[in-house]
């Protein structure tokens, strides 16, 4: 299969060849005034084999979005993938991969210590009852347990 090159970087990634969990640079963009943003593929589960439960995804999104900003001023966004296998982490600049991995590790460690999901209510969230702190902690713990594998994208 030799598909036509697509505009979305992840659509050009052969998802059969990757080995989750991993963290990889998915894209870098130089903005018109010289700023750079870098998008990371933070893959929790093996594509087309496993996926995260929606309550886990949603809660981990809230937790990571809130807590990551305690560790870095560079965080722009942390968004779930529609396929439910991971997230996109967007940072300002071109941080060293070691610093990004440290940011992810520190944030997920905070998740394990959380006593509630931030903004998990109908005032601050579009589906406030669709959360599970336990499921988010389970996903964070599983990802952290495989920390030594995060830089290995393909087998």
Residue 155: the pLDDT is 75
The verdict on residue 139 lying in a domain is yes
Render pLDDT for 6-19 as a digit per residue (tens, 0 to 9).
Answer: 898 889 889 999 99
Strands 36-43 and 22-30: antiparallel
Of 88, 114, 84, the closest CA to residue 100 belongs to 88
Report CA Rg, the chain. 16
Q: Which residue range(s) make up the domain with 92?
A: 16-148
Using pLDDT thresholds of 50, 70 and 90, give the confidence band for residue 1.
Answer: low
What CATH number does the domain containing 44 carry?
3.30.1360.80
Residue 2: the pLDDT is 57
The verdict on residue 154 lying in a domain is no
Of 33, 36, 83, 89, the closest CA to residue 61 belongs to 89
Query: Sheet of 22-30: strands edge to edge?
Result: 22-30, 36-43, 86-92, 75-80
Distance between first and last Cα of the chain: 20
Q: What is the mean pLDDT of residues 78-98?
A: 97
Q: In the chain, how many domains are there?
A: 1
Q: Is the pTM of this model over 0.85?
A: yes
The verdict on residue 68 lying in a domain is yes
């Amino acid at each position: 299969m030799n598909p036509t090159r697509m505009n979305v970087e992840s659509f050009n990634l052969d998802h059969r060849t990757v080995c989750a969990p991993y963290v990889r640079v998915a894209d870098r963009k130089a903005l018109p005034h010289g700023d750079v943003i870098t998008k990371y593929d933070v893959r929790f589960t093996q594509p087309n084999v496993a996926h995260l439960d929606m309550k886990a995804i949603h809660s981990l999104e809230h937790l990571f979005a809130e807590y990551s900003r305690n560790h870095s001023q560079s965080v722009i966004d942390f968004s779930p993938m529609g396929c439910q296998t991971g997230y996109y982490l967007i940072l300002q600049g071109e941080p060293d991969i070691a610093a990004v991995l440290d940011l992810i590790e520190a944030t997920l460690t905070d998740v394990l210590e959380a006593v509630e999901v931030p903004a998990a209510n109908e005032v601050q969230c579009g589906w406030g009852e669709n959360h599970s702190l336990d499921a988010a902690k389970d996903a964070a713990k599983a990802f952290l347990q495989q920390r030594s594998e995060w830089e290995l994208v393909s087998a």
